[in-house]
C-alpha cells in the first residue's frame, strides 16, 4: 500500500532509510545483482542513458498527456465564464462542475478554521473532491490539474539550464518545513479569523487570473517564479504548499499508483533525475528494495516521468485490484 506508515512519515519530512527487513526473494535478487559483473559496454550504455535524461532526451508521452489535462481543465473554467455556459463555474479552488460542488480540501479547512462555520455546499464540495482524489491518486491533482504545477515545471526547466551553465546554484531546504507550514497556516487561520493561506495561494491566484483576467496578485506569482528559477527549484510545491500535502494524505489509500519491480531494474536511477519528489524513489537504489514489488509512496504526484524514462520498464502505473 502506497500509504504505509513509513511512506507517510517520509512525506511529512523523514529521510527515507534502508528497510529493516528484506524479503528472501528480494534478497536473492540483490545478491544475484551484486555477483553479476558489469561490462564496460554496459557501464557506457548506462552513462549514455543518464546523460540523455539530463539533456531532456527521453519520451515525453506522460508529460504531454498531463500538460493537455492541465490546460484543458483550466481552459474549461475560462471558456465557461466567457461563453457563459455554466459548465465549470468558479475556480479550481471552489467550483461547481457540471452541477457538482467541488472545494479544495485544505482551502476548505482554512475557511472552517478561520470563520468557524461549516455550510452544506462546502461539506458536499470537500467530500466530493476527497472521494475523487482518493480514487485518482491524491497528488495526481498536482501534476494533472494544478495550474501552478505547469508554471513550476517551466521555472524548473529554466533553472536547470542556468544551473548547467553554472549561472545559478540549487538551494535545498528540509522537506519537513512543508509540514510545519501546514500547521502554521492552520493555526494562523484559527487564531486570526482570516485565511492568510488562501490570500497567498498561487493555485487560486493563477486559476482566478486565467478566468477573470490578471491583477496585482500576479506580482506574487512572478516573485515565486523568479525564486524558483534563480534560487530553489520547485520551492513552493516541495517546501510550502499544504494543498500538496493534503492531496498526498488523501491518496494514501488510493488504488491508482506507481509500482516498482525490482527484478529488471539496472539501478542507474534515471528516474531520480526527472522526479519532483525523488525521496519516494529511494527503493530503486541498489540494495534498497525490501520486496520484489513496491508501491511508490503517497507523495508521488503520478506525473509518469519515471515511467517515461525507465529503460527497463521497472516503474509502471497500476490500479490495485485490476
Sign of the dihedral defined by the CA atoms of residues 228, 232, 237, 239, in that order:
negative
Shortest CB 29 distance to ligand SF4, Å: 21
306 contributes a contact to ligand SF4 by CB under 6 A: yes
- Considering only residues 134 to 173 of the shown chain, the ones binding ligand SF4 according to CB under 6 A are 142, 146, 148-149
93, 243, 249, 294: which one contacts ligand SF4 (CB under 6 A)? 243
229 contributes a contact to ligand SF4 by CB under 6 A: no
270, 280, 283, 284: which one contacts ligand SF4 (CB under 6 A)? 280
276 contributes a contact to ligand SF4 by CB under 6 A: yes
Angle, CA 12 vertex, CA 232 and CA 272 arms, to 5°: 55
Shortest CB 116 distance to ligand SF4, Å: 25
Beta sheet of 94-97, edge-to-edge order = 88-90, 94-97, 100-103
58 contributes a contact to ligand SF4 by CB under 6 A: no
CA distance 256 to 140: 9
End-to-end CA distance of the chain: 14
For residues 142 and 155, which CB has a smaller minimum distance to ligand SF4 in the complex? Answer: 142
Which residue has cell 513496491? 294
70, 111, 241, 284: which one contacts ligand SF4 (CB under 6 A)? 241
Interaction pattern, residues 196-225, with ligand SF4; x per rule: CB under 6 A: -------x----------------------
300 contributes a contact to ligand SF4 by CB under 6 A: yes
| Number of Cα atoms under 13 Å in the Cβ half of residue 170 | 15
Q: Name the strand (E) or helix (H) holding 183.
A: helix 177-192
Q: How far from 224 is each of 41, 218, 221, 235, CA to CA, in Å? A: 44, 10, 5, 8
- Which range, of 156-164, 167-175, 210-218, 302-310, touches ligand SF4 by CB under 6 A? 302-310
CA distance 273 to 56: 10
CA distance 42 to 232: 34
Shortest CB 203 distance to ligand SF4, Å: 5
275 contributes a contact to ligand SF4 by CB under 6 A: yes
Interface ranges with ligand SF4 (CB under 6 A): 142, 146, 148-149, 203, 236-237, 241, 243-244, 258, 271, 274-277, 280-281, 296, 300-306
Amino acid at each position: 500500500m502506497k500509504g504505509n506508515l513509513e511512506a507517510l512519515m517520509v512525506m511529512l519530512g523523514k529521510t527515507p532509510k534502508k528497510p529493516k527487513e528484506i524479503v528472501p526473494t528480494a534478497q536473492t535478487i540483490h545478491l544475484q545483482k551484486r555477483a553479476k559483473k558489469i561490462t564496460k559496454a554496459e557501464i557506457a550504455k548506462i552513462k549514455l542513458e543518464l546523460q540523455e535524461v539530463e539533456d531532456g532526451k527521453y519520451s515525453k508521452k506522460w508529460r504531454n498527456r498531463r500538460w493537455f489535462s492541465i490546460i484543458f481543465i483550466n481552459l474549461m473554467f475560462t471558456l465557461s465564464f466567457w461563453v457563459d455556459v455554466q459548465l465549470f463555474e468558479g475556480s479550481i479552488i471552489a467550483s461547481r462542475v457540471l452541477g457538482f460542488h467541488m472545494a479544495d480540501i485544505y482551502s476548505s479547512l482554512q475557511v472552517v478554521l478561520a470563520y468557524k462555520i461549516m455550510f452544506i455546499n462546502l461539506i458536499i464540495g470537500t467530500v466530493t473532491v476527497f472521494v475523487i482524489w482518493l480514487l485518482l491518486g491524491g497528488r495526481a491533482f498536482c501534476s494533472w490539474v494544478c495550474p501552478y504545477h505547469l508554471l513550476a515545471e517551466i521555472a524548473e526547466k529554466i533553472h536547470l539550464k542556468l544551473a548547467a551553465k553554472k549561472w545559478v546554484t540549487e538551494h535545498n531546504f528540509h522537506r519537513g518545513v512543508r509540514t510545519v507550514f501546514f500547521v502554521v497556516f492552520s493555526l494562523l487561520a484559527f487564531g486570526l479569523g482570516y485565511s492568510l493561506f488562501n490570500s497567498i495561494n498561487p493555485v487560486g491566484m493563477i486559476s482566478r487570473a486565467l478566468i477573470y483576467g490578471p491583477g496585482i496578485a500576479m506580482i506574487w506569482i512572478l516573485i515565486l517564479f523568479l525564486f524558483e528559477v534563480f534560487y530553489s527549484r520547485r520551492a513552493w510545491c516541495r517546501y510550502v504548499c499544504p494543498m500538496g500535502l493534503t492531496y498526498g494524505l488523501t491518496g494514501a489509500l488510493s488504488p491508482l499508483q506507481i509500482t516498482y519491480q525490482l527484478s529488471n531494474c539496472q539501478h542507474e536511477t534515471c528516474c531520480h533525475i526527472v522526479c519532483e519528489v525523488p525521496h519516494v524513489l529511494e527503493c530503486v537504489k541498489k540494495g534498497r528494495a525490501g520486496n520484489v514489488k513496491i508501491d511508490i509512496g503517497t507523495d508521488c504526484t503520478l506525473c509518469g516521468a519515471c515511467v517515461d524514462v525507465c529503460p527497463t520498464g521497472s516503474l509502471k502505473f497500476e490500479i490495485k485490484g485490476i
